Amino acid sequence: MTEAEGEKKPARVVVADDQTVVREGIVMLLGLLPGVEVVGAAGDGEEAVQLVGELAPDVVLMDLRMPRCDGVEATRRIRSQYPGTQVVVLTTYADDESLFPALRAGARGYLTKDAGGDEIVRAVESVLSGDAGLSPSVQRRLLERLSQPEHPPEPAPTDVAPDGLTARETEVLVLIADGLSNQEIARRLHVSTATVKTHINNLFAKTGLKDRAQAVRYAYGKGLVRPPTQ
């Protein structure tokens, strides 16, 4: 009997998570599942990259928020240096500012930590067969993002944002000028309210603005939004 006709070899997996209890729990869970062999476990992104170089696993189950080297940077380095290893993100977070950077870095799968063992195995098998291993909630988020305009607010007439504002900070400023609350901005941009507050603090610091009223005047004065047609 040839190898192809025999039992399929299990996928060799490295688990990367900075929380010891979580990491050990994932390793224990995977050890009970068919088709998966855990060959290593890392406590941060730096160690994950090192283990991939030493062990050449088929897949890394990657947490995103870790010390020294986060999951996005570790994914980018693994996919660049060791293209034979695929990355499936396994994280608590499913917001846009976690999801899209991870996918752009080269992750082929993205699961949240409430995924069951069967779902993890399916994601691992999917990425090894060349498909994407995305949880249903992540697939819905991608579809929602793709179905919306790329830039919902009215674009500024100039390509260069004033006072060194980033594109996202300018976007938040325009939404403030449109009268949206922090919660409404968060829903519009598919981010957390805390992230919106961070953007507002940053743009206030760059522009010297003190409050939302000043922000509205600033946005109109810089031509970022236009007065409504009379």
Task: Name the domain count of the chain.
Answer: 2
154 within a domain of the structure (yes/no): no
The residues that bridge with 109 in the sheet, in sequence order, are 88, 133
What pTM does this model have? 0.60
Query: Do residues 207 and 170 touch, judged by C-beta distance below 8 A?
Result: no
Q: Is residue 78 part of a domain?
A: yes
Mark whether 117 and 27 lie in a shared domain: yes
Are 75 and 124 members of one domain? yes
198 lies in some domain = yes
Distance CA 140, CA 40 (A): 32
Residue 132 and residue 166 in one domain: no
| Same domain, yes or no: 133 and 192 | no
Residue 135 sits at φ, ψ, to 5 deg, of -70, 155
Query: What tens-digit pLDDT sequence spans the chain (230 residues)?
Result: 444 445 678 899 999 999 999 999 999 999 888 889 999 999 999 999 999 999 999 999 999 888 889 998 999 999 999 999 999 998 887 666 777 788 888 888 888 888 888 888 888 988 888 877 776 666 665 656 555 555 444 444 444 567 888 888 888 998 988 888 888 888 888 888 888 888 999 899 999 988 888 888 888 888 887 655 43
Does one domain contain both 139 and 206? Answer: no
Decide which of 85, 112, 146 is a domain's last residue: 146
We report the CATH number of the domain holding residue 177 as 1.10.10.10
User: Quick check: 93 and 64 in contact, CB under 8 A?
Assistant: yes
Residues 109 and 195 in one domain: no
| 178 & 139 share domain | no
The CATH number of residue 39's host domain is: 3.40.50.2300
Cα separations (Å) of 64 from 7, 39, 42, 68, 129?
33, 20, 13, 12, 23
Question: In this structure, are 195 and 113 located in the same domain?
Answer: no
Crossing angle for the helix pair 136-147 and 96-105, to the nearest 10 degrees: 90
31, part of any domain: yes
Residue 228 lies in a domain: no
Range of the domain at 194: 162-221
Count CB atoms within 10 A of the CB of residue 225. 20
